[in-house]
Structure 1
Amino acid sequence: MRNTEVALPTGAAGATVGQLAVGVRSWVDSAPLRALVGHFGGDWPTGDLTAVLAGLDDFSARHWDFRRGRERPEAREPALDRATAGLVLAAADRLGLVDSGPPARPRYTHLVVLGGLAHACLRRVAYARHLLRTGPSVTGEVAVLGSFRPLSEVERSALAAAGVPGDTEVDALDAAVRRAFGVAAPAEEDGHDAPHPHHSWSSRTYRPDGLPPVRVLAAPSSDPGRRRAHTADTQRFWAEHVRLSPGDLVLTVTAPIYVPFQHCDALRTLALPYGCGIETVGVDPALPDLAALPEPALTPGRYLQEIRSAIRSMRALHDALVAA
């Protein structure tokens, strides 16, 4: 992960509860986040870190939540003046949501690709293949994590334009793996087809020549009565399928805009219980391999929404640290 102006909590293997808590406080108490809250009319929360995180969660729910329980493509875009939009983009950059560098290490135990919107599934899997071709080695497996979330009409159209079929997120991930890794059929397959997709799961393992095994995993929801599986569910479900050990290094691939929140989710669900190291990188949009896989415009509203996601993920991580 590149050195942003505001560093994320450490992903070093074996990091202590205290070190992780210091990292949460450093990001949350940073100048760009304080300036952003002030610009939107908020007073900085008082009290200890638990109270500050709760206050920021509440503030961001009132001012920066444009999804209101809907999926990301359905979020509204707020009407912001030019100065506010510029402040948001500058804060997002300083907080680590805009840019990303290459992996820092030459070798990792596992490479984890996080699912998302249909176009993101294609881009992230293609980037993972690029990393294996040009750079760090992976001694364990490549894990491609998603769920049975139905694709929207816009997502299905984007897949069709790229010549990829699919009706769910895991369909898109599976097709992306076959396309990027040149594999036709899984070597192993398992799963449970429940009456409701929130309870279902599937696992397909491909074995491309000369590369680590690639596992495509669709996770069930940990709260199936209320929602689909989210990022933390997929990470936790994968951890149950692979033997993580203290000292293992896990490289996680996502989009730059999601790096802060998904890094903290990985710290909470993987690093804290298993003692492994976590490094989170975003897809490099400048790669020629990805030119044919465009993504939607990253607007100030989207950045505000994901700053809120980062705050909520920091809060969940801190709660886990307090419990530990």
Structure 2
Amino acid sequence: MVTFPPVALPACEPGFRPGRLDDQIHRWVASEPMKALVAAYGESLPDAGVGDLLAWLDAFSGVHWDFRRHGRVERDQVTAPAFDAGRTELIVAAATALRLVEAAPPPHSEYDHMLVLGGLGRACLQRSRYAAELALSGAVKVGEVAALGSFRPLTHAERELPGLGGAAFEVDAMDVGVRAGFDLTRPVEREGLEGEWDVRTYRWPGQPEIHVLAAPSSEPAIRRANTADTYEFWAGRMRLRATDRILVVTTPIYVPFQHGDAIRILGLRHGCGIDTIGVDPSRVTVPFAPGATNPDRYLQEMRSAIVSMRALHQALP
């Protein structure tokens, strides 16, 4: 059985200073599981500085692990390649060590902000309801909750999910999940520009203030809003302090890349502390989609993490 020791993601505590970030990024990308994956594709990971190593891995993973590049399809529309048993075991073992597989509890008991990240319809329901469980059960004390989405149209399959029949966009799916998880009815405030951005605010006695946001794309002629756009849009509406601690809630497979983006946009620019966790599959009411944790998905999101960490490295002062 193939196993690797776990590899820590870059740390980001309140009052964040990036002095050791290069070493922490290098530790992740030059780790034993990454070397083993590269070797499985007939290459050797270069012995290089972090910038050159990230550039090499970006190019390498673009050739071997980017299954979305043809037609730039959504994650659930990829035609998965076949892997033999040995390759599958290696990929899953490496993904586990690199923090893409297992859920982890919040490292701290109190957070100033909880950010629930959007995605496909199923993920919107899973993440928002899991975040509500954390906040309402007392597992964490939270000052403010923000569910971050976009105006990506839902597919027919997404709209067929229980409870999403009337939802048209990703932000609507986030709204459904938030209202169900926190037992809310309607927002007390709403503002936005139709089809571009939207903010829905909920307040209820004894609960943190809750916002559901659809962020505008920073490249509207090319693509929908991505994770970085949603972080920036939310941060632009807040008065963030270097003492703030932020908990990001996503799905385990996306933790490394979305953590890297959060450090780049919220840690470097505002000094906030960032923890990123994935939902616990045993505690979600909406099951994961078939194929959501296939080997190709892990490789795709390792590439996403490499791209994210390269952007983080390039943003360092």
TM-score normalized with structure 1 length: 0.92
Alpha-carbon offset, residue 258 of structure 1: 0.4
- Residue 75, structure 1, aligned to residue 70, structure 2: no
CA–CA distance in 2 between the matches of 1:30 and 1:105?
27
CA–CA distance in 1 between the matches of 2:147 and 2:140?
17
CA–CA distance in 1 between the matches of 2:36 and 2:164?
44
Distance 1:172 1:163, change over 3 A: closer
Distance 1:142 1:292, change over 3 A: same
The corresponding residue for 2:277 is 281
Within the candidate set 195, 203, 209, 2:205 is matched to 209
Alpha-carbon offset, residue 276 of structure 1: 0.4
Sequence identity (%): 49
Distance 1:209 1:293, change over 3 A: farther
The corresponding residue for 1:305 is 300
CA contact (8 A) 2:122 2:286 kept: no
The corresponding residue for 1:295 is 289
The corresponding residue for 2:102 is 99
Q: Which letter does structure 2 place at the counterpart of 1:181? A: F
Alpha-carbon offset, residue 292 of structure 1: 4.2
The corresponding residue for 2:193 is 192
CA contact (8 A) 1:182 1:208 kept: no
- Residue 138, structure 1, aligned to residue 120, structure 2: no
Deviations for 1:264-290, whole angstroms, at most 9, x for unmatched residues? 100001010000000001101111xx2
Alpha-carbon offset, residue 45 of structure 1: 3.3
Q: Which letter does structure 1 place at the counterpart of 2:157? A: V
The corresponding residue for 2:41 is 40
Deviations for 1:71-124, whole angstroms, at most 9, x for unmatched residues? 111112111111001100000000000002111111110011000110000010
The corresponding residue for 2:239 is 243
CA contact (8 A) 1:98 1:256 kept: yes
The corresponding residue for 2:129 is 126
- Residue 262, structure 1, aligned to residue 258, structure 2: yes
CA contact (8 A) 1:101 1:281 kept: yes
Within the candidate set 307, 311, 320, 2:315 is matched to 320
The corresponding residue for 2:11 is 10
Q: Which letter does structure 2 place at the counterpart of 1:304? A: L
SS of match in other structure, 1:240: helix
SS of match in other structure, 2:146: strand
Alpha-carbon offset, residue 53 of structure 1: 0.5
Alpha-carbon offset, residue 182 of structure 1: 1.5
Deviations for 1:157-204, whole angstroms, at most 9, x for unmatched residues? 22xx346521110010111111111211111111012xxx4xx10000
The corresponding residue for 2:174 is 173
SS of match in other structure, 2:154: coil
Q: Which letter does structure 2 place at the counterpart of 1:137? A: K
What's the C-alpha RMSD, in Å, of the aligned pairs? 1.3
Superposed structure 1 runs of 4+ greater than 6 Å apart: none
Q: Which letter does structure 2 place at the counterpart of 1:235? A: Y
SS of match in other structure, 1:37: helix
CA–CA distance in 1 between the matches of 2:166 and 2:106?
31
- Residue 117, structure 1, aligned to residue 113, structure 2: no
SS of match in other structure, 1:109: strand
SS of match in other structure, 2:303: helix
How many residues are matched? 309
CA–CA distance in 1 between the matches of 2:122 and 2:243?
33
Where structure 1 has 5 or more consecutive residues not aligned to the other structure, the ranges are none
Alpha-carbon offset, residue 129 of structure 1: 0.7
Where structure 2 has 5 or more consecutive residues not aligned to the other structure, the ranges are none
